[in-house]
Amino acid sequence: MKIMHMISGGDSGGAKTHLFSLLDKLTSKCDVVVACLMRGVFYNEILERDVETVLFEQKNRFDLSVLKDIRHFMAERGIELLHVHGARANFIAKFLKKHLSIPIVTTMHSDYLLDFDTFFKKLIFTNLNSYSLKKIDYFIAVSDSFKDMLIDRGFCPNNIHTVYNGMDYDTVPTEVTSKEDFAAKYSLELSDSLTYVGIAARFDLVKGVDIFIKGAALAYAKNKNLRFLIAGTGVEEANLRTLTESLGMQDVVHFLGFVTDMYGFLNFIDINSLTSLCESFPYSMLEGAAMKRPMIASRVGGIPALVEDGVTGALFESCNEADFAQKLLELASDKAKLAQIGENIYQKVTSRFSSEVLANDHMRIYSSIIADYHNPKRYDFVLSGYYGFNNSGDDALLLALVTDLKAAKSDARLAVLSSNPLSTRKMYKVDAYERVSLIKLHKLFKNSAVLLSGGGSLIQDETSSKSLWYYLFIIAFAKRCGMKVMQIASGIGPVNKKCNRRLTASVLNRNVDRITLREQKSYGELRDMGVTVPAQVTADPAISLTGESSERIREIFDANSIPFDEYICVALRKWKHASPDFEDNMAKALDHAAKVHGKAIVFVPMQYPADLAIARSICAKMSQKAYIIETPFTIREAIGIIRYSSLVVAMRLHSLVYAVSCSVGVIAIKYDPKIDGFMEYFRQSYIADVATVTDSQLKELIDTFYSEHADNSSDNLCTEMKQKAKRNAAIAVQLLENSDDKQK
C-alpha cells in the first residue's frame, strides 16, 4: 500500500505530534512519503526522522503552481491514497481531486471553525477550509465528539472514521528531572504533605485556565495543602495574573511560563488537569498518563474516552469551577488511592492509545477507504422500516440492526430510509435519506447491493393499507433496480383484506430472496398467505441491546422528580379498539398496585410525545400518586428504566422485549396479534385484551405476579433468543456476499 501524507510543513502543535507518532509505526507497515508545502517547524524536524519527505514549496498559501509537480510525483510513485492534514493541505487537495483517481482523506485534528482567531483569517481562511472540506471524500476524526460535530454539519457518517491519538511510550524518558531539582529551579516548596495540581496550556480563552484558577481558590479554601502550577504563556496572561491576585491566590498559584522540560513538570505534580471549553483528544493527557498522573478534566471532546470518574481520574462539567473544585478535593483526599488511579490511567493509555494501535487503526481504515472508493456500489445495505418517527420500538430495532450488521461486517456501508434523515444520521452515525423521494430512491437503489426491509410489523394492514402498499412498493422497486432483498426480523400480520393478502404474497414471492421472522406466529401467517420464500424464525434484534447504568437512570428520575425506589413501569398507547372504560380500569388497577404492593407507578412514553396523552389521562384518574417521565430519553435509557423496575405493564411491544431481555416480569395488554405472538414465543403467561380487560382482571394479574414473586423470564431462554437475534445480521451478510460473488 502506497500512501502520501500532505501537511503544510509549519505545524508545531497537536497535528505535528500526531503525525510523528503515526509515522513512527506506519513506515514499517506500508510505503509512506510525506509532502510539505512550506519550510517550518514540522518540515525541519521531520528531516531528522527516518521518513521519506518531499517539499513542494509554495510562495504563499494561494500558490497553485505546485499542483502539477504534486500530480506528476504521485503518478510516478503509484500513490494509492492521499492523506492530508490541516487547512493548507485541504485547500490543495480540493484542486488535486479532479485530476486523481484515488481517494483523499483528511484528519480533523481540531474544530475547523475555531482554527483561525482574527476576523480577517476567519473570513478568508475558515471559509476556504470549510469549502475545501466539502470536496474531500473521507475523514478521520480524533474523537467521537468530532465525528458527531462533522455529522451535525452535514458530512456523511459512512465516510467518517474515528481514531484517537496515540503516542510511543518507549520514547518517554526513564530518567527525568527530580522533584528536588524542579522545585529548586522554580523556587517551589517541596513537602510530602502538599499536593501539587498542574495544568499545561496556552493562555487562550478556549483553554479555560481562568476556570482552573477559580476552582483552585474554591478547593484551597477547604484544603490548605493544595498548590497549583500553571505552565504556559499567551495573550490572556495579564488577565489570568490579575484574576489570581484578586482571589488572593498569588502565593499558592505559580505561573511557570513556557516549560521546555514537560516530563520534569509532570513528574513534579501529583494531579494533571485540563480545563478546556473545547478539545479533541489532546496529547497533554497522554503525556501525563505516561507519567502515571491522574487526570482531572472537563467533560468535552474525546476526553471521556480516557478519563473515567474514580478510575483514571475525574471529569467535571465544562466552565463549572465549583464542580472542578469538588472533584479535585475528592481526588486529593487519599494519596494511596491517587497512586492507584495513576497506575490505572497508565495501563489504559498504554494498551489503548499507543502509536502501534494508532498505526494499525490507520492501516485498517486505509484498506477500507480504498476498497470503498473503488466499489461500484456505494452501500452494502439499505434499511427500510418505520424509522425517524420517534418510536422507541422501531428506533431500538434500527439501533440493534446497525450494531449487529457492523459486528458481522466491520466495514459494512449502511444507509437508512427515514422520515427525519438528519436526526437518523446523528443518532445512528449512518447515512440516511428521505423515504418518499422517488428520484432519490432510484439513485440510491442503483448504487446499493441489498435492501433490508423490516424490523417491526411492516407487513400488515391493521393500521392502514397505505402503509402496507408503501413497503411492498419499496421491495419491488429495489428489486427492479437490481438489489437483493431481505425481509428482516419481521412481524407478519394481520393482513386482513383478501386483495392485500394476494398482493403481499405476489410481491414477496417475486422480489424477496430471504426472510427472517421475530416469532413463530408470523411464520404461520406468512405461509397461510401463500408466501414460499425461504424463511427462518430468529428473534427481535432489540433483545440484544443493553441499558444505561443505575446512576444514569437515577439522574433521569431526579430530573422528572420521581423517587428512585421500587416501581412499576407502565407503557401504554391510544388504541381505537380499546374498551370504553379502559383508562378507568387501568387507573383502578394501578391504584391497587400502589396501595397493596407499595410500588410507585411510572409511566414511560415509548413513542414520544404521542404516548404522553394517555399517561396524563390515566394519572388524572388515579387517587394514588403516579409519575410520568416527561423528558425524552434514548433507547438505552428506556431499557435501563425498565431494567430497574419490578414489573412492566405494557401495550408497547418493545417495552415487553426490553423487560424480558432484562429478566423483568411482564403483564401484556394485547392490542395486536404481535403481542400474542411475542408472549407465546417467549413463554409469558400474564396477558389481558385491551378490548375486554377489567380492573378486577388487572388486579388479579398484579396480585398473582407479586404473590408468586414471579420471575417469569428465563435467563436461559433470553440467552438463546439473543443468539437467534444475531442470526438476522449473519444471514444479511451472507446474502450480500453471495451477491458479490455473482457480480464477480
- The dihedral built from the CA positions of residue 733, 734, 740 and 743, taken in this order, carries a sign that is negative
Collapsing DSSP states into helix, strand and coil, what is residue 431? strand
Q: Is 709 left (phi over 0), alpha (psi -120 to 50) or beta?
A: left
Give the C-alpha separation, 68 to 348, whole Å.
46
Residues 170-207 pLDDT 10s? 888 889 999 999 999 999 999 999 999 999 998 988 89
**Whether pLDDT at 655 is above 70:** yes
Return the percentage of the chain with pLDDT > 90, whole number: 79
Confidence of residue 115 (pLDDT cuts 50, 70, 90): confident
Higher pLDDT, 328 or 663: 328
- CATH (residue range 375-544): 3.40.50.11720
Q: How confident is the model at residue 740 (pLDDT cuts 50, 70, 90)?
A: low
Condensed to tens digits (0 to 9), the pLDDT of residues 246-255 reads 999 999 999 9
Which homologous superfamily is 2-167 in?
Answer: Glycogen Phosphorylase B; (3.40.50.2000)
Say which CATH superfamily domain 170-353 falls into: Glycogen Phosphorylase B; (3.40.50.2000)
Residue found under cell 427515514: 418
Q: Measured between alpha carbons, how far is 493 from 521 in angstroms, rounded to an integer? A: 9
Dist. CA 129–CA 131, nearest whole Å? 5
What is the average per-residue pLDDT within 8-25? Answer: 88
The count of C-alpha atoms lying within 13 angstroms of the C-alpha of 119, restricted to the half-sphere facing its C-beta, is 0
pLDDT band for 281, please (50, 70, 90 cuts). Answer: confident
Q: Quick one: fold of 555-719?
A: Rossmann fold (3.40.50)
Cross-strand partners of 5: 34, 83
List of residues 6+ apart from 737 with CB closer than 8 A: none
- CB distance 33 to 111 below 8 Å: no
- How far apart are the C-alpha atoms of 136 and 90, rounded to whole Å? 8
Say if CB 544 and CB 636 are below 8 A apart: no
Which pLDDT band holds residue 714 (cuts at 50, 70, 90)? low
Q: Which of 35-49, 114-128, 297-311, 386-400 has the lowest mean pLDDT?
A: 114-128
User: d(Cα 243, Cα 592) in Å, to the nearest integer?
Assistant: 61
Our separate counts of H helices and E strands in the chain read 29, 26
C-alpha to C-alpha distance for 564 and 555, rounded to whole angstroms: 9
Q: What are the CB-based long-range contacts (under 8 Å, 24+) for 546-551? A: 546/636, 546/639, 547/636, 547/637, 547/638, 547/639, 547/640, 547/641, 547/642, 547/643, 547/658, 547/662, 548/634, 548/636, 548/637, 548/639, 548/640, 549/640, 550/640, 550/644
CA-wise closest residue to 603 among 623, 581, 625: 625
- Ordered by start, the domain boundaries in the chain are 2-167, 170-353, 375-544, 555-719
Does residue 266 surpass a pLDDT of 50? yes
Cα distances from 125 to residues 11, 15, 90, 120, in angstroms, run 16, 18, 11, 8
The pLDDT of residue 709 is 61
Work out the angle at residue 652's Cα, subtended by the Cα atoms of residues 492 and 659, and round it to the nearest 5 degrees: 105
Instruction: Kindly write down the DSSP assignment for every residue of 22-81, as one continuous string.
Output: HHHHHTTTSEEEEEESS-SHHHHHHTTSSS-EEE---SSTT--TTHHHHHHHHHHHT--E
Quote the mean pLDDT of the chain.
93
Query: Does the pLDDT at position 711 exceed 60?
Result: no
Specify whether the CB–CB gap between 512 and 485 falls below 8 A. Answer: yes
Contact between 671 and 614 under an 8 Å Cβ cutoff? The reply is no
Angstrom distance (rounded) from CA 116 to CA 244? 28
Domains 2-167 and 375-544 in one fold: yes
Tell me if 185 sits within 8 A of 301, measured CB to CB. Answer: no
- Residue 743 grid coordinates: 457480480
Confidence grade of residue 744 (pLDDT, cut at 50, 70, 90): very low
3-class secondary structure for 272-303? Answer: EEECCCCCCCCHHHHHHHHCCCCEEEECCCCH
Neighbours of 595 (CB within 10 A): 11
Helix ranges (DSSP H) in 353-417: 355-373, 392-408
> What are the helix (H) ranges across 122-174?
127-134, 144-152
Model confidence at 575: pLDDT above 60: yes
Given this model, what pLDDT does residue 728 score? 96
The label of the residue with cell 510525506 reads 34
Pairing state between β 665-670 and 600-603: unpaired
**Is residue 262 helix, strand or coil?**
helix
The predicted structure's pLDDT at residue 712: 47
Burial class (CB in 10 A: 0-12, 13-18, 19+), 189: exposed
Q: How many CA atoms lie within 13 A of 356 on its CB side?
A: 7
